[in-house]
Each structure stands twice: as structure tokens, then as C-alpha cells.
Structure 1
Amino acid sequence: MNRGQPLLLKRQVVLSGDSITSAASSFDQETAKPAVSIHLGGGGEALFTQITRQNIGHPLAIVYVESKIENQTTRRDERVISVAVINSALGNQFQITGLGVEEAKDLALLLRAGALPTVIYPIEERMVGPSLGQENIHRGIVSLAVGMGLILTLMAVYYRLFGWVANMALLLNLIFLVAVLSILGATLTLPGIAGIVLTVGMAVDANVLIYERIREELRAGFSPQAAIYAGYERAFATIIDANVTTLIVGVVLFCIGTGPVKGFAVTLCLGLMTSMLTAVTYSRAMVNLIYGRRQVKQLSIGI
């Protein structure tokens, strides 16, 4: 297209931008009108002279080619930026006339952009080893261990025997999560560690919901066995709602995210599924094993 008009071009490329040594906007000495002065080099002058001699009176199009990377694929855009009629055989120096002042400047700029390669000279070069990433992973694991230690201590002190049940469920949750990640061949990264830490918090949150519900039932006058049953049953819907909502967010992050975001989403989703399994199934089985057949008047479930 040239100024909105369709053009039929031959596929033969007469000259590439590598043969242009300079292009500048100027004024024609005879007509004093704007023009673009072009100088050729690189051995293409003879061929260009021959082609233009054979096509005097015919139009010659200049096509600007631009390559763009979109969605991991390279797209090639071709745009006609000038069409001029060949008036005579052209050598290594010639002019393009019939342009306005701004058109001449723009055309010269585009010709220079495609003609003058930029040589890159390295000023400084540094080699970065894997120590930085290893240090970050180490810090992430340390933070996970410290967080786990604080959570285990708090649960054991505050919820007593039930806290120890929650701690065992939490450790089992981590074992399941690491096992699944190992089976999938996942690489442990900082976002992945962040997902594991968040999983630990949500697993503890599920146990806290259950235990607080049991304490409410005890204060309402229920027997220990009835309070345990009602606590797990009535907290189950809340736990499922909270985890499913977060699971949807994790799936969305995995679908639209890239790289580290996907790593975080994978550990988050897997951790949510394992935490629901251990917090509801394993925890309830352990509590029923301890208190199911015992006739007790009170539960060791808090300070």
C-alpha cells in the first residue's frame, strides 16, 4: 500500500538496506524542492545501475521490513514507504524527489534505520554463578522452618492434645506435598517456597476453625463426643468454601501466569488439596481414635 493505494510488487529485491551507506534529506539543486540524497556502497552499485537502466520510466518501490516477536513467534511486517519513477540509470549516488519536507526527513530516517548496523562493543562483562539463587533458596527454606517451628509450638501450647494432632496433620501435609512435587519433577523455587508457606498457614487455619467450633459446642453444653462430631461437621463447609475459592485463584494464576507465577500456583493448588485431606480426614481420624470410645467429661482442647 502506498498512500492508501494498492501496489503490485515483484518479489525480486534489487537492493537491500545493507548497501545504503548514507541517506539524508536535502534540496534538489535544480528545482530547490525537498529530496532525499542516497549513497550506495558494498558492491551493489553495478547491479543497481543495470536494473535501473532496464526499467527507466517504471516505478521503483522502497519496502520497509520489520520483524516483531509476538507470542513466541516472529512476525514479518512489510510496508511500502516510497514509490518513485526511475528517470535514468542510477549509480552509487542519486536522489528521490517529489516529496514534502517532512516526508523527505521521515524517508531518510527510515532508510538510515534499516541501513546502518550498530556495532556493540562490550564495556564490562561479569559472570554470575548460581550462588545467588542458592542463597535465596536457603533463606526461603530457613524461613519455612522457622515458621513451622513457631506454628507447631503455638498449636501445642494453646490447643494441648488437639494441637499435637494438628501438628501431626501439618507434618503429614508437608510430606504429601513434597512427595507429589517430587513425582511431578517440579523444581523448588522461591515462589514455590512461598506457596508452601501459604499452604502451611491455610492448613493450620483449617484446624483452628475446627477446634474453635468444638469449643463453642462444648460451651453450648454438648458432650465431648457430640462436640467433636458437630465441630467437624459444621466447620467442614467453611473449610471447603475457603479452600475452593483459593484453589480457583491458583488455577487462574497458573493459566495466565508465566515462570515464577506458575511455580507459585502449582505449589499453592497442590498444597490446598493435601491440606484439605490431612486437616479434615487425618485429623478427624486421630481425634476419633483418641476420644471415640472413651467416656470423658472434658477435652484437652485449649487453655
Structure 2
Amino acid sequence: MKWHQGLKDYQNYLRLERGLSQNSIINYSLDVKKLMRWLETNKIEASPISISEETLQQFIYEIAKKVNPRSQSRLISGLKGFFNYLIFEDYRKTNPLALIEAPKLGRKLPDTLAIEEIDALIAAIDLGSKQGERNRAILETLYGCGLRVSELTNLKISDLYFDEGFIKITGKGDKQRLVPISPATEKYITIYRKEIRVHKKIDPTAKDTLFLNQHGRQLTRAMIFTIVKQLVEKAGIRKTISPHTFRHSFATHLLENGADLRAIQQMLGHESITTTEIYTHLDRKHLTEVINRFHPRK
């Protein structure tokens, strides 16, 4: 088996068997491609089936000198997945990375936004501009429903079930879930739809897409990042903020106000409750308040 064929087969497996998104497939592929380039640069003859533990240890050692521990851990994890696939398909008997441990990482938790900061970001939107109402609806939806960026950009009008109080979200691996929508978020989406979107010339490919760019097409992930970045600067917020910060804030604020962790897990679309716990970290002040309020020996 050649590397390029092995990678192509792996990509098909990730797409068809695992049901991963194109972005996830690209990320997994990059890990294998790094190894392929390193073998080629160092003129090492080794196929996916014959490559040894020693060769991979040398590769990881050299990469470790160039990247941070988190990137190193991600690379090891990605390559282990590739070789596990080869075992699954009976190309190999063992995983040559089985004994290579990834560096231990602490939890890296992004900044969250206080409710006042979210209000400041929304207040920074120029509602008199062409995209003002759309951008307000975008921020309200990101925060009000805890969506990933890709889930927001792919949101369809046919996914809106306002009468039932839900929207249908297609998440990772094309898995669908129903997320409750608040009256406030529903109101701003409706304003955008009825007063702005209805007057746009819409590309035939985007007739059912909710949020559109100035050309009547689906917004890109990069455009959402740009919108948020500009508003952060305008509002004078000195934090590292991305669209994902609204999702993190959504979960954190729900938990801090007494929401059940399992309910938050369902709304976020996490398979594992452990992932939800990472997103919904609590600061020490809040933990102290919980102890003081609920412990029998106050």
C-alpha cells in the first residue's frame, strides 16, 4: 500500500463509516500528510504497513522541537487514528504509536463573555447599516442557542419551528438535534427575515439559507469571524473572542444559573458529558457560592 492510496481510503472511511464533516476529514488528513512529507524529506522508504515504531518515534521527536505540546498531542492522536484504521482493515496487526504517549495538557479554557459584554457587543452594531439587523440576529442566535459557527451558517429557514419553540440543528457528522429558541432570539430572526432578507436578490442555491451575505449567498465561517472581530474592537473588549466564545458563554451562563448539565449536553450536541464539563467550567467564586448556598453545614 502506498501512502497516497492509504490516505484516500482513510478519508473515505472517515466520510462514509464515521460520518465526519469535511473540516474534520481535512484535519485528520493533515496529520498523515505531515508524516508523508517528513518521510520524503528524509528519504525514508517506509509504507503505511511497514513503518516501524522507531521511525515514528524519530518523527514525533523532531516535530516536538517545532510545535507546542497541544499541537504535538493533536498530531499523535491523529496518526493513532490512521493506524487504528489500518488495523481495522487488517492491513496491520499493531499500532506503531501505541506506546507513544501524548504530552499531558491542562484544560485550555477560552474566555467567556459576561452578560454585560454581550450586551455591549450587540449595542456596537450599527442597525442603520445594510447588514445591521442581520448581524444582530447572528449574535443573538450564536449566544441564544449555543451554536457552532458551521451550524449557524448552515441554518435553514425550513429548520425554524417557532410555533413549537425549537430550531433544528445539523451538527457534527450530520447529526440533528432540536434546540429551544427564546422569544428574544426568535424576534430578532423574524425582524431580519421579514424586513431585510425578504428584499434581497437571493442566489438560487441559497433560497432556504437563513443568513445571507450581500450577494444573496450563504455566509462563510470566515465572515462570521470578521463580524465578531470588528464588533469586539468597536466595543473595546480586551479579550480573545471568537464566534465560539458565544457558545461557551451560553453553556457557562446556563450552568451558573442552575441548568442541568445533561440538558446543556443535549443542547450543545455533545456525545460525551465530559466534553460538556470542559465547556461549562465554573470559576472559583461561583463554586464558593454554590457551597455556601447548598451545603448543609454552612
Aligning the two structures, in what range does the TM-score lie when normalised by the shorter sequence? under 0.3
TM-score by length of 2: 0.20
Instruction: Compare the two structures and name the one with the higher strand fraction.
Output: 1
Is the radius of gyration larger for structure 1 or structure 2? Answer: 1
TM-score w.r.t. structure 1 length? 0.20
